[in-house]
Copies of this chain bind each other. A is one copy, B any other.
């Protein structure tokens, strides 16, 4: 069997309005279809980049989902139900689940931890948790997590720019003090965990966070430091549908 789990992938990916997504390498140096009309010599010194007229074609690059050849295992009833719920509610099964589906205990512990951290009780809003996910993933330059959780930030915030900003450099986002302190902590913990000390926790407390909140910020930042590395180590590819969500 080829790499990744194509059959399940095929079932899970049918994003509406994206007929026949095709894996396409970027070829050559020239891009003839998008070539702008040549400027006349007289205008050469002040050229302007025109907008191509044709809509961008659908492109997918998430087959296989990962660069390891790990045949899918039979889903347990709980996981089969979970995948069905994803399909029903999201319209697709997130590729990270497909990646873990070669082994049910690994899939189940991942799902349990993820859902507890990101969707369970917490003093942090779901948006804030996603913001941590994206800020950490930006520090680690993780394609999968930036794509999937960048979309989540756009969705939860209703602000497409906020998602892009945290993907690119969270410092440019116009955050309130609480959220800025939260992301400063998460990014420092990501970049130099050895340097986090009581002064850093105190800064969070002064920004209004409880000790339980500090645990949650730390645990979520930790979780994405794990996920970023599993994704990068396996070349995990996000579902193509994420790229266009909530733009």
Residues of A within 8 A of B (CB): 23-31, 33-36, 39, 43-52, 54, 56-57, 59-61, 67-70, 78, 81-82, 85-86, 89-91, 102, 105-106, 108-113, 115-116, 118-120, 123-128, 138, 140-143, 146-147, 152, 154-162, 164-165, 167-169, 171-176, 178-179, 185, 189-190, 193-198, 200-201, 211-212, 214-215, 217-219, 221-223, 225-230, 232-235, 240, 243-247
Contacts and interface: CB of A to CB of B under 8 A. Distances in A.
Given A49-B119, A222-B227, A193 B142 contact: yes
How many copies of this chain? 6
Contact of A90 (B48, B116, B214): B48
B106 A109 contact: no
A233 B196 contact: yes
Q: Is the interface of A mostly helix, strand, loop or mixed?
A: helix
Given A85-B46, A164-B243, A193 B51 contact: no
A245 B34 CA distance: 14
Contacts of A46: 78, 81-82, 85, 111, 115
A84 to B, nearest CB: 10
A168 B154 contact: no
A26 B175 contact: yes
A67 to B, nearest CB: 6
21 contacts: A24-B174, A25-B175, A26-B176, A30-B127, A36-B126, A36-B156, A49-B126, A51-B90, A56-B154, A69-B211, A109-B113, A141-B194, A143-B164, A167-B168, A189-B232, A189-B233, A193-B229, A196-B233, A217-B233, A218-B230, A225-B229
